[in-house]
Amino acid sequence: MKTIADLKPREKATIKTVQTGSDWVHRLMVMGLVEGAEVEYIGSAMGGDPIEITLYGSSMSIQKESAELFEI
């Protein structure tokens, strides 16, 4: 299973499934991280967390732990 957290810089992918057990995941889904959405990995902060992605042309930072709940 590959997740958003596994992407490399400038790599794009489509979200296939979402593990919806967390309140944080629901908040991210409201922001557009849903099945079928295309994301692009931009990079990460020093130490690898949080990570920056683009979604529908906008940048957002999410915790790596949360990114691991979005299968691509």
Specify the number of domains making up the chain: 1
Give the pLDDT score at 34. Answer: 96
- Cα 60 from chain centre: 9
Q: Tell me, what's the pLDDT at 43?
A: 94
* CATH number of the CATH domain containing 16: 2.30.30.90
**Which domain does 49 fall in, by range?**
4-71
Query: Structure pTM?
Result: 0.90
- 40 to each of 9, 21, 23, 65, how far by Cα in Å? 8, 24, 23, 17
The pLDDT averaged over each successive group of 10 residues in the chain (72 residues) is 95 96 88 96 92 95 94 97
In terms of phi and psi (left: phi > 0; alpha: psi -120 to 50; beta: otherwise), the region of 58 is beta
